[in-house]
Amino acid sequence: MSPQVNKKYSLHDLELLISYFLRWGVSFAGFTILLGWVWMLRQENPRLTTFTDYHPQPLLESLHWAVLTNDRPMLICLLGLGILVTLPVLRVLMTAVLFFKQKELRLGTMALVVFAILVASFLLGIEI
């Protein structure tokens, strides 16, 4: 197999790997969110009209409160949402590692830069 064909084959392998990762990740996160939400519905009946005003409670506070009150549906729902949002970030990291393995240094570095910006953007949510 010529190096060109071998490289093309590797890139397709990489695409397939990321594809499986995303498919399973979304399914797992979706199931977790569904479980938490349905459980939440059975426990309480929150009205959407209470969300007309904007008073955000930071995630860390919500988690702390949910642990203290043993609010398992909320914890499961937040876990699902967390997994879902983290999926693309992990996908970028995975892409970076795989590009480096293919000796694609420039693209690997770019993927790492994207990963760093993503991590920084998450931290902004705590700061602002």
Partner 1 sequence: MLELLLLTTAVAAGFLGALLGLGGGIIVVPVLTLFYHVNIRYAIAASLISVVATSSGAAASYLKDSLTNLRLAVFLEVGTVSGAVLGFVLASYLQAKALFLLFGLFLLFSGAMMLRKRLEQLSETSHPWAEALKLSGSYPERDGQIINYKVQNVPLGLFAMFCAGILSALLGIGSGIFKVLAMDGAMKIPIKASSATSNFMIGVTAAASAGAYLLRGDVIPQIAAPVALGIIVGSFLGAKAMVRLPALRIRQVFVVVIVIVSLQMIYKGLS
Residues that bind partner 1 (CB under 8 A): 11-12, 14-16, 18-20, 22-23, 25-26, 29-30, 33-34, 36-37, 40-41, 45-49, 51-54, 56-62, 74, 77-78, 80-82, 84-89, 91-92, 95, 99, 104, 106-107, 110-111, 113-114, 117-118, 120-122, 124-126, 128
Q: In the Cβ-directed half-sphere of 74, how many Cα atoms lie within 13 Å?
A: 16
DSSP state of 52: S
φ, ψ dihedrals at 70, nearest 5°: 55, 40
Contact 102, 11 (CB under 8 A): yes
End-to-end CA distance of the chain: 53
- If one counts every other C-beta atom within 10 angstroms of the C-beta of residue 92, the result is 21
**Shortest separation between residue 117's beta carbon and partner 1, angstroms:** 5
Distance CA 14, CA 19 (A): 8
